[in-house]
Every structure is written in structure tokens, then in C-alpha cells.
Amino acid sequence: MVNKKNFNWTNWAGNHSCIAENYFEPETEAQIIEVVQMAGRERKKIRVVGSGHSFSPIAISNEILVSLKNYRKLISVGKDSVRCQGGMYLHELYSVLKENKLSLPNFGVINKQTVAGALATGTHGSGLKHRSLSAEIEHLRIITATGEVLEINRDTLWDAASISLGMFGIIAEVTFRCEPLFYLRSEESVIEFDEFIEYMDDYARRYEYFKAWWFPHTNKVYLFKAERINEEEYNEKDKLEKFSYEQKMRDLEIDALTAPMFIKSHDDPSLISAINKYCLNYFFTPRTRIGNSFEILVHDETVPMVVSEYGLPVLNNNHKKALKEFRDTLEHSEQKIHFPVDLRYTGAESSWLSPAYNQETFYIGMCVREYREKEVHPSMQLFFDVMKKYDARPNWGKLSDLSKTVLEKIYPRMNDFRELRKNIDPDGLFLNEFIKNVF
């Protein structure tokens, strides 16, 4: 097993890093158990890193860091399920699914995370009929602080363990429920911000897959609406503009072209309005695409950035008020924000730590591109301040600034989770500073 001392680790966004006394890459379950038991004996804290795609300091450890990059094999594929080791990357899982004409019902935006890492923070996509990736878990095999195996099924601790931020132990194996590969037609168009506010929930109810990108300082929102089509329609490629290589290249071209502009905009934020406007007009023209679920819903990686995201209940128009207040506060301040502000929906879910726990949820996500500082960017602080007023629930993998007391108030099962965590890991082997501050 690979073991490195004083290992320097940095997350994908480059805003958090640590030097771990000991870093391990176990290759077997026995080696995972060995590392956990050694940590217990030596009273060292331990965290697992996935692919480091969290923007929060959730994965870091100055003591023991474990990566499952050598524990990422496919275990089995059935007619409606797939089982793999926790370190498998999502793109590897998705390739297996595609080969077997299977799909998950929904996806997060990109495919570079590890399976266990994505589940640990409740990674989600968009669509009111859908929930996070964690909602599709059938079974988890977790190595706990004593080195014992904890099996999680739908009827055992599922609501607590399906989104656990790595606090119950090392997720060694995951079984997902799948469905047959499906096909989508997506329509993308631009509307005014105020029109979006008026109709956003109607669109979210009407289209199975719906999300939007607000381009701050342009007053415009780019809509993404997609519905299922049957395989025959999909095969009639010539009649409609099918998903094509060229279209995929658009995303890469945007990144290549915009990265230098984003870097420059840090010295001159007034450039941001012009960049957002230029990109919207040049790249985000209306289009219709046809493709399989992966082609339409999953994107390649994007330029480095830091991201914050909060979820609000789809209730009494409060979520609309929050979005409007964010827009108004931003436009009346000196701050400028890079595109896009990501606007998404998911259905209610039962995982205790999900931002969508027991409530249909509208998510607002903002980014600062090409920014690698640990300090919160002032434009993000502005966002935090508005979200706080609405008791919005943070995405654990992204940046937020909520205190323990506030989190207790907005996550009603927080105390239950805490009690359970203490039972499973009484010595707090799997805690780091970030987790300790909250739990």
C-alpha cells in the first residue's frame, strides 16, 4: 500500500490544503481496516479524500489522509443496479452504466468526483421529480472507527448514513439503483430575469429536467428545459439538431477563452459585466439538443473557481424573494459576480443532512472564477448575508458561513445525527476542524 509522510494535499479549487503526517492508498478492504485501526491505536484523526472537488475544507486532515484511488473497481452490474468500490470516479461509473444501457435518474453537473465523495456531501442535479445522488443508494458498506463493517440498507440508518460527510467511517462499497438508459430533448433559451422569477416554478413543475443560469449584470437568464423522448425519436437524428461533438466543444471553448478574462477581472471588476454579456450573447444562443441522459445532463470540468450554494424551500414564494433580494443587493453594491449563478430544483428527500430534507428545494449557487484564496471573496460574503436572512441550507461540499447554532435550527435532525455519530465514532476519529465546528 502506498504510504507517504508529510503529504501535501490541495483541493481541486486550490482554496484549501493540508500537510498530512501520513497518507495512505489502501488496495484491499483489509488494508482499509488496518489503517483505521492504526489511527485508533495512535489516537490520530483520519479523513478520506475523494477527488478533492469540495470547495469547503471538509476533506482535509493534518494527521491521516486516505485516498481510495486504488480501491475503485466495479463489483457487479445487474439489470437495475450497480455495485462498485467507493473510490471509483463518477466518469468510470457512468461508462459502465452506458455500456450496460443503464443510467441514474439524475446527475450533478460534472463527472470527476469519486462515488463515495459525491455521496458524502449529497451531490445533486436539477429537477423537482429528482433528488440527490444519495437518494439512489441501495446499500453502503462502511468501515467504522473500530475497523468493523457497517452495512447500510434502506431499512437501517439509511436517512442518517446516505449523506454523512464521511463521519460514520470509510465508505468502501456502494450499490446504486439504476434505470434503463434514457434519451432527452433539451431546449435552451434566454429570458428576462423578472420573467424568470414569475414563471420559474411553473417551468420546474412542467419539465422533468429544469435549471437556469442567471448572468448577473445583464438581467438575463439562460433556461435549460429537458424532457424524455423515446429511443425511436432519438434515432431520428437528422430531423433535429442532435447532441454533437461541436456542441460539446462549446463548453471547452468557453473555458479556454474566458479563463484569461476572469483572471484579468480580479484587478478590474468592472470588466465582469462586459464578460458576462459577451459570453451570453456569443455562446449561449438558443438551441435544441437530443442526446442520451449522460450527453445532455453531464458536463466536462470547467475553469477553476470557488462556489457557494444554498437551498431554500419551494414554499410561499420565499425562495423567489431570496433570489430577488440577492439580485437587488448585488446590483446596488460595488460587487460584481461572474456568470453563471446556477438556479436549480430538487424534490424533497429523507436524508437528514440533505439541504432538501423534507422540503422541495430551490438552489442558488454562485461562483468566483480563478480565485484560489482561503479568505471569502467579498461578493460571496454578500451572497452569504442574503442567504442567512432566509434560513437557507448550505450544500456541504461548497462554501458557506453558518454557525453551529444556525445549522441546528435549519437542519431539524442535526441533533439526532450528532447522537448517532457519537455512538458510531465515540472518539471522533473521523472528525477534522471543519466538521468539529459544526458537529
Ligand X SMILES: Cc1cc2nc3c(=O)[nH]c(=O)nc-3n(C[C@H](O)[C@H](O)[C@H](O)COP(=O)(O)OP(=O)(O)OC[C@H]3O[C@@H](n4cnc5c(N)ncnc54)[C@H](O)[C@@H]3O)c2cc1C
Summarize as ranges the residues that interact with ligand X (CB under 6 A): 12, 47-54, 58-59, 68, 86, 108-110, 113-114, 116-118, 120-121, 123-124, 165-166, 170-171, 301-302, 395, 397
Of the pair 113, 218, the CB lying nearest ligand X is at: 113
Of the pair 302, 350, the CB lying nearest ligand X is at: 302
Q: Smallest distance from the beta carbon of 235 to ligand X, in angstroms?
A: 29
Q: Smallest distance from the beta carbon of 350 to ligand X, in angstroms?
A: 17
Of the pair 72, 234, the CB lying nearest ligand X is at: 72
Rounded-to-integer distance, Cα 164 and Cα 86, Å:
14
Q: Smallest distance from the beta carbon of 286 to ligand X, in angstroms?
A: 23
211 phi/psi in degrees, rounded to 5: -150, 170
Place of cell 484564496: 373
Q: Smallest distance from the beta carbon of 312 to ligand X, in angstroms?
A: 15
Q: Smallest distance from the beta carbon of 25 to ligand X, in angstroms?
A: 12
- What's the gap between Cα 241 and its chain centre? 29
> Is 91 exposed, middle or buried, given 0-12, 13-18 or 19+ CB atoms closer than 10 A?
middle
Stated as kind and residue range, the H or E segment containing 126 is: none
Place of cell 438558443: 286
Q: Smallest distance from the beta carbon of 376 to ligand X, in angstroms?
A: 17
Quote the DSSP letter at residue 377: P
- Which residue(s) pair with 173 in the sheet? 85, 141
Q: Smallest distance from the beta carbon of 53 to ligand X, in angstroms?
A: 3
Of the pair 66, 190, the CB lying nearest ligand X is at: 66
Rounded-to-integer distance, Cα 412 and Cα 319, Å:
19
Place of cell 468592472: 270
Stated as kind and residue range, the H or E segment containing 5 is: strand 2-10
Look at residue 107 and give its three-state secondary structure: coil
Of the pair 166, 313, the CB lying nearest ligand X is at: 166
Of the pair 18, 116, the CB lying nearest ligand X is at: 116
Of the pair 234, 346, the CB lying nearest ligand X is at: 346
Rounded-to-integer distance, Cα 112 and Cα 91, Å:
6
Alpha-carbon distances of 140 from 160, 170, 206, 281, 407, rounded to whole Å: 12, 10, 34, 45, 26
Of the pair 165, 386, the CB lying nearest ligand X is at: 165
Cβ(16)–Cβ(80) under 8 Å?
no
Q: Smallest distance from the beta carbon of 230 to ligand X, in angstroms?
A: 27
Q: Smallest distance from the beta carbon of 333 to ligand X, in angstroms?
A: 26
Rounded-to-integer distance, Cα 53 and Cα 301, Å:
10
Cβ(300)–Cβ(255) under 8 Å?
no
Of the pair 216, 355, the CB lying nearest ligand X is at: 355
Cβ(230)–Cβ(350) under 8 Å?
no
Cβ(25)–Cβ(70) under 8 Å?
yes
